[in-house]
A = this chain, B = another copy of it.
Amino acid sequence: MSTIFGSKIRTLREEKQIPQRQLAAALEIDTATYCKIEKGERRAKREQVTVLADLLEVDSKELICLWSADKVYDIIAEEEEATQILNVVAERIVQYKRKSAKV
């Protein structure tokens, strides 16, 4: 049930010794909700991720990456062909990049 994203922001927050209350306020949500985000019981919204990156002073790309990875993992984790699914997606992304490079 825990997420890479949740663990990451918890670690960062503890390193900086910031209380949940403070980050929750910045995100304009209840501390209960913030707590659940750290524990992976709720998913942060995308805008919230970037706000957190600022406050925790990390590259927002890094957090977005972990946050997205959690979402993808939820979709494919239970599927037998998980790895192949990733290959199909990767292939499609390459194709798209080729196409936009042409233009």
**How many of these chains are in the complex?**
2
CA A77 to CA B61, docked complex, whole Å: 15
A4 CB-CB contact with B under 8 Å: yes
Interface of A is mostly: helix
**B73 engages A89 (CB within 8 Å):** yes
Chain A residues with a Cβ under 8 A of chain B = 4, 61, 64-66, 68-69, 71-73, 75-77, 79-86, 88-90, 92-93, 96
Q: List 19 additional A-B contacts (Cβ < 8 Å) besides A68-B79, A73-B92.
A: A4-B88, A4-B92, A64-B81, A65-B85, A68-B85, A69-B85, A69-B89, A69-B92, A72-B72, A72-B85, A72-B89, A73-B89, A75-B75, A76-B89, A76-B93, A82-B93, A86-B86, A86-B90, A86-B93
